[in-house]
Amino acid sequence: MHKFDLKGKNVLVTGGGTGIGRAIAIEFAKLGAQIVVNYNSSKEAAEEVVDEVEKLSSIAIAVQADVTKEDQVMKLVKEAEVFGQGKIDILVNNAGTLVERCKLDEMELSLWQKVMDVNLTSTFLVSKHVIPVMKRQNQGKIINLGSLAAHDGGGASAIPYAASKAATQAFTKGLAKELAPYNILVNCLSPGLITTRFHDQYNTMENRVKTCGNIPLKREGLPEEVAGAAVLFATEYGSYITGETIEINGGLLMV
């Protein structure tokens, strides 16, 4: 078997209907994996990903669950396990969003908690319930989604988002140590400015153009370019990598 082969692997991607999650699901399917596409509200988009996976001669299901709610996470993981005939080989904790921009001194506690829940608590909950499955297998890969914001504090009025992503990267390191004895590898992807619905919703075109001017590669990244880094973590080529974060930002972090 080629080291980039994912045939026979069962993959759960949270927030897999759009953006980076979608790109990772499709890229993994190209390598032979079967995919559980989790979504919360983007049902149509998730079903489109399932269709794309099936066109690649693989199989997929779309499963609705709010991954900030433990009871729904438990049902999601059980459905993913059944779909994988008792196993979950790879978990991609991709669900997350900025929610809204707000200055800290004007922020309600409810907004702070909502941002933390969707970006950090979701990663904790899904990991928590997938880990027992991976321990029984004595193998697994967990891939979390961080952000360039973890390093620079994020854009204007986005402190909770930046803080949640910094915490995700620390969470990744701690969990990698904890799960190493079980042959479960835990790593993190840290995208910069990527062309997704996220930036369409929370960023201005003026700011995006300005940011591109500061990026050494002078352009936004593509979701597929983040998916390429995910392939390294998911396949045998990443078999000696754990607790690491790959920065995918066109060189912006160097500036």
How far is it, in rounded angstroms, from Cα 227 to Cα 200?
20
Q: Is residue 187 part of a domain?
A: yes
What are 199-222's pLDDT values in tens digits? 888 888 998 999 999 999 999 999
Contact in structure between 233 and 187 (CB atoms under 8 Å): yes
Name the residue among 101, 123, 111 with its Cα closest to residue 15.
123
What are 22-76's pLDDT values in tens digits? 999 999 999 999 999 999 999 999 999 999 999 999 999 999 999 999 999 999 9
Among the listed residues 161, 182, 202, 240, the single catalytic one is: 161
E-strand ranges in 179-228 read 184-191
Contact in structure between 144 and 168 (CB atoms under 8 Å): yes
Residue 39 is among the residues annotated as catalytic for this protein: no
CATH number of the domain to which 27 belongs: 3.40.50.720
**The whole model's pTM is what?**
0.96
Q: Is residue 3 part of a domain?
A: no
Q: Is residue 20 part of a domain?
A: yes
| Minimum mean pLDDT range among 88-97, 169-178, 191-200, 224-233 | 191-200
3-state secondary structure of 125: helix
Q: pLDDT category, 155, cuts 50, 70, 90?
A: confident
Contact in structure between 230 and 189 (CB atoms under 8 Å): yes
Question: Would the CA dihedral through 39, 41, 47, 48 be positive or negative?
Answer: negative
Q: Is residue 2 part of a domain?
A: no
Read off the pLDDT of each residue in 165-185 and give the average, rounded to a whole number: 98
Q: Is residue 131 part of a domain?
A: yes
How far is it, in rounded angstroms, from Cα 20 to Cα 145?
9
Number of domains within the chain: 1
Q: Is residue 234 part of a domain?
A: yes
Residues contacting residue 197 through CB under 8 Å, at least 6 positions apart: 18, 19
Q: Is the pLDDT of residue 197 over 90?
A: no
Domain carrying residue 208? 10-247
Residues contacting residue 89 through CB under 8 Å, at least 6 positions apart: 9, 10, 11, 33, 137, 139, 140, 141
The pair of three-digit structure tokens given for residue 191, joined into one six-digit string: 């995208």
What are 97-110's pLDDT values in tens digits? 999 999 999 999 99
Q: Is residue 4 part of a domain?
A: no
CB neighbours of residue 215 within 10 Å: 19
Q: Is residue 252 part of a domain?
A: no
Contact in structure between 94 and 69 (CB atoms under 8 Å): no
